[in-house]
């Protein structure tokens, strides 16, 4: 696969009937669900799951999505979605990049970037990244 950056975290996806819109291709909202799924699975792999977020009373909440839809996906397509953490300011913000590829033809269907903000779950207010987040996320930051 021709990934944009080294050492991607990758999940496999298959486009389901419920992902398809009136135009016959995967709806843009399905892609956002896939981005969230990939980010969560990566966080879980790093030891930062929902239980840990709750224990720490912290979470990484989406502050901004930037998505470039480059080509369509269709029902039954087998896809691979990669993510990388490309920035962590060590205070409040972390940025992930994503790339979605259809392996059957090697085509990149989407590139995206999401900025996350650390929040306190109990108040919803922005709060500093706890040490556990820094220990889990910072070592896997990839620079381009």
Distances (CA, A) of 21 to 24, 50, 73, 74, 113: 6, 31, 11, 10, 23
Question: What domains are defined for the chain?
Answer: 14-140 (3.10.129.10)
- Look at residue 144 and tell me whether its pLDDT is greater than 90: no
pLDDT band at 114 (very low <50, low <70, confident <90, very high): very high
**pLDDT beyond 80 at 133:** yes
Give the DSSP H/E element, type plus range, for residue 10: strand 9-14
| C-alpha angle 47-134-12 in degrees, rounded to nearest 5 | 45
- Give the per-residue pLDDT at 92: 96
pTM for the complete prediction?
Answer: 0.95
């Amino acid at each position: 696969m021709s990934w944009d950056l080294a050492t991607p975290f990758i999940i496999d996806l298959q486009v389901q009937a419920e992902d398809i819109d009136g135009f016959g291709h995967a709806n843009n909202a399905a892609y956002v669900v896939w981005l969230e799924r990939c980010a969560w699975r990566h966080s879980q792999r790093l030891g930062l799951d929902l239980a840990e977020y709750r224990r720490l009373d912290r979470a990484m909440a989406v502050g901004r999505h930037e998505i470039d839809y480059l080509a369509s996906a269709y029902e039954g397509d087998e896809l691979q979605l990669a993510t990388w953490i490309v920035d962590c300011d060590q205070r409040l913000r972390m940025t992930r990049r994503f790339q979605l590829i259809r392996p059957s033809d090697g085509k990149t269907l989407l590139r995206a970037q999401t900025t996350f903000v650390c929040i306190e779950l109990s108040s919803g207010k922005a709060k500093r990244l706890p040490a556990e987040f820094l220990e889990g996320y910072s070592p896997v930051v990839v620079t381009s």
